[in-house]
């Protein structure tokens, strides 16, 4: 199994451009989420999904959109990139939404720079 796969690994955007960060998991996990990590800070939750067709906001959702049309995929969209969105983005998934013993599995991140 590949686990959680994020693409691309690196991306440079100009202010105002749009792009989609891809996240796919092959573990049939119900729950998927996006975090961002900035230097010297912990991970902050952007959006999450408890199943196909269901999404909700995390701590820092502004400037990001998500959708969950399949169990496997959870793309994160930046509609108009801003320098404040320069960060490392991590996608994570877990087996069940309400299962306390279901740890999060993380991808290896997308490093985004907005100039």
Nearer to other proteins, 30 or 114 (CB): 30
Using the contact rule CB under 8 A, the part of the chain among 18-26, 33-41, 64-72, 74-82 near other proteins is 33-41
Residue among 79, 56, 58, 59 nearest 67 (CA) = 56
For 85-107, the DSSP string reads G-EEEEEEEES-SS-TT---EE-
Site for other proteins in 53-112 (CB under 8 A): 56, 58-59, 90, 92, 94, 97-98, 100-109
Cβ 61 to other proteins, closest distance in Å?
A: 13
What CA–CA distance (Å, rounded) separates 78 from 18?
Answer: 5
Is position 46 an interface residue for other proteins (rule: CB under 8 A)? no
26 binds other proteins (CB under 8 A): no
Give the nearest distance from C-beta 109 to other proteins in angstroms: 6
Assess contact for 5 and 25: CB atoms under 8 A: yes
């Amino acid at each position: 199994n590949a686990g959680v796969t994020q693409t691309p690994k690196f991306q440079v955007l100009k202010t105002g451009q749009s792009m989609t960060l891809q996240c796919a998991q092959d573990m049939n996990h119900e729950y998927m989420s996006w975090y961002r990590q900035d230097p010297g800070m912990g991970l902050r939750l952007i959006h999450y999904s408890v199943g196909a067709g269901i999404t909700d906001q995390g701590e820092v959702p502004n400037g990001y959109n998500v959708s969950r049309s399949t169990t496997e995929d959870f793309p994160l969209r930046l509609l108009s990139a801003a320098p404040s969105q320069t960060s490392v983005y991590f996608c994570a998934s877990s087996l069940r939404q309400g299962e306390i013993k279901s740890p999060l599995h993380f991808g290896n991140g997308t490093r985004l720079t907005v100039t």
